């Protein structure tokens, strides 16, 4: 199993979790939206944690590159966490307009972030790291 395939698959799942929340919010289906939001948040934060606790440290240790892509990725995770916080507020206030507007910013950020990971960081990881071992450690933290 390639790291790229394993983690890109989680990106697809998280995209779908968000799309489901957005649909429920658009339809004014607030209770369903809250339920779906919890799932989206839990899985997205788990994906970030898997990268931050396993992939990034392994990448830094094996390549010696500590001030490059992993630092940028960590910073973007923090930006994404802030936006998820704002989405949660908008949801609590049942503010559809605010939710969809913050959601648009979230999607722009996360699509660019995911593209960088899938095109640069993951392929470099597959090249330099012990793929099987890393995928096993990632799986140990749970499934997205």
Q: Is 58 in the site for Fe ion (CB under 5 A)?
A: no
Residue carrying the six token digits 């972030």: 113
Tell me how far apart the alpha carbons of residues 31 and 44 are, in angstroms, rounded to a whole number.
20
DSSP state of 118: I
- What backbone phi and psi angles, to 5 degrees, belong to 95? -100, 95
Q: Is 138 in the site for Fe ion (CB under 5 A)?
A: no
Sign of CA dihedral 5, 7, 13, 19: negative
Is residue 124 within 8 A of residue 62, CB to CB? The reply is no
Q: Which two tokens stand for residue 3?
A: 């790291």
Is 51 or 58 the residue whose CB approaches Fe ion more closely? Answer: 51
Stretch that binds Fe ion, among 18-26, 59-67, 71-79, 125-133 (CB under 5 A): 71-79
Residue number with CB closer to Fe ion (27 or 82): 82
Q: Does 22 bind Fe ion (CB under 5 A)?
A: no
Task: Kindly state the smallest distance separating residue 105's Cβ from Fe ion, in Å.
Answer: 17
Which of 18, 117, 134, 135: binder of Fe ion (CB under 5 A)?
117
Rank residues 13 and 35 by Cβ distance to Fe ion and give the closer one: 13
User: What is the binding site for Fe ion (CB under 5 A)?
Assistant: 51, 73, 117
């Amino acid at each position: 199993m390639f790291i790229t395939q394993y983690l890109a698959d989680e990106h697809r799942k998280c995209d779908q979790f968000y799309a489901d929340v957005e649909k429920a919010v658009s339809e004014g289906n607030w209770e369903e939206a809250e339920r779906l939001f919890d799932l989206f948040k839990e899985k997205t934060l788990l994906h970030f944690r898997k990268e931050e606790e396993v992939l990034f440290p392994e990448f830094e240790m094996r390549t010696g590159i500590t001030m490059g892509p992993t630092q940028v990725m960590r910073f973007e995770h923090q930006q994404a966490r802030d936006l998820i916080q704002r989405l949660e507020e908008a949801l609590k206030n049942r503010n559809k307009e605010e939710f969809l507007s913050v959601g648009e910013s979230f999607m722009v950020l996360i699509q660019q972030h995911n593209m960088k990971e899938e095109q640069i960081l993951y392929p470099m990881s597959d090249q330099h790291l012990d793929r099987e071992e890393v995928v096993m450690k990632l799986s140990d933290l749970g499934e997205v």
